[in-house]
Amino acid sequence: MKIWVPSEAAADVLSDLPDVECVVYDGTGPVPGGVEEVEVWVPPLVTVPDVPGLLGRMPRLKLLQTVTAGVEPYRPHLPEGAVLCNARGVHDAGTAEWAVGAMIAVLREFPGFVRAQDRAEWTYHHTGVLADSTVLIVGYGSIGEALERRLDGFEVDVIRVARTARGNVHGQDELPELLPRADVVVLLVPATPATAGLVDADFLAAMKDGALLVNAARGGVVDTGALVAELEKGRITAALDVTDPEPLPRDHPLWTAPGVFVTPHVAGSTPASGRRTLRLLRSQLLRYLAGEPLKNMITGSY
């Protein structure tokens, strides 16, 4: 059985499995030979060029296992008979940790103090604070749960929102009533047709003055033009690990908009994520070889 994996580390963790041939393809350089024989493909973290064309050359593909929670580059082009699984859970810690760090960085004005340090200026003043805030988590899945665990102890109130209501989790249709209550709005929704442009001008207008928008989801969830307009007014602030477009062009107005903190899609790029990805890959391949049910199968809308 031929498996494409994204790294030597992934190949090493699968090297002792019986009748398995691992080929490393990290998306750079020429496509390896034997693409028509690939039965399992584990794409790299950064999407490879021409996904539709590549999948179209994989008639024997049975399992596509991503190393990301998002599957949007692959799902529309999956060959008939192939199963798609994501890496739900492996990036929870890193992404949740980034979200907490981003909130504190913006509210306590760390980027501004770093710039002042570069100028050797002592710019004493009061800042915002996370304590006593209401944090609205939009997209309350495994990462949302991990984020709430990390917020425990910061003395905040948490409002949970998912696509549909359940228990103590509100439905997405309740956002117009919930947004004005939030001091911090954290986006953790998957990229789907239903979430594309979810954060539009109306969404942003419903946020309270001085609120912070934190995007650890996907850039396309936010209408970039509408966000820039609100930032230029100085009415809200934002912390963005993802943008639309991405990478952000050097001349894009988001770079210089007031009150925005941008990181280059690094929330889940941590050693912890790497270790957990390798554990998932080995577990998943053992299940596949044994004919057992796979983890994280993508069915329905997501």
Q: Is 148 a catalytic residue?
A: no
Cα separations in angstroms, 111 against 10, 108, 260? 36, 9, 9
Q: Give the active site residue among 88, 91, 170, 218.
A: 218
The model carries a pTM of 0.91
User: Do the beta carbons of residue 96 and residue 150 sit within 8 Å?
Assistant: yes
pLDDT at 70: 85
pLDDT tens digit sequence for 12-22 = 999 999 999 99
Q: Please determine, for residue 301, whether its predicted confidence score (pLDDT) is greater than 70.
A: no
Q: Give the active site residue among 88, 91, 170, 265.
A: 265
Cα 163 to its chain centre, rounded Å, is 17
Give the least confident one: 29-33, 228-232, 297-301: 297-301
Pairing of β 170-171 and β 63-65: unpaired
Q: Is 265 a catalytic residue?
A: yes
**Residue 161 — φ and ψ, nearest 5°?**
-135, 130
Which letter does DSSP use for residue 166 in this model? B
pLDDT at 299: 83
pLDDT at 300: 64
pLDDT tens digit sequence for 21-80 = 999 999 998 999 999 999 999 999 889 999 999 999 999 999 999 999 889 899 999 999
Who has greater pLDDT, 155 or 47?
155
pLDDT tens digit sequence for 236-250 = 999 999 999 999 999
The encoded tokens of residue 274 equal 């790497």
Q: Is 218 a catalytic residue?
A: yes
Who has greater pLDDT, 191 or 126?
126
b/e 87-117 (16+ beta carbons within 10 angstroms → b): bbbbbbbbbbbbbbebbebbbebeebbeeee
Nearest-angstrom CA–CA distance, 296 and 203:
31
The encoded tokens of residue 74 equal 């692959």
Length of the chain, please?
302
Q: Give the active site residue among 39, 75, 246, 282.
A: 246
pLDDT at 302: 54
How many percent of the chain have pLDDT more than 70? 99
Q: Please determine, for residue 98, whether its predicted confidence score (pLDDT) is greater than 80.
A: yes
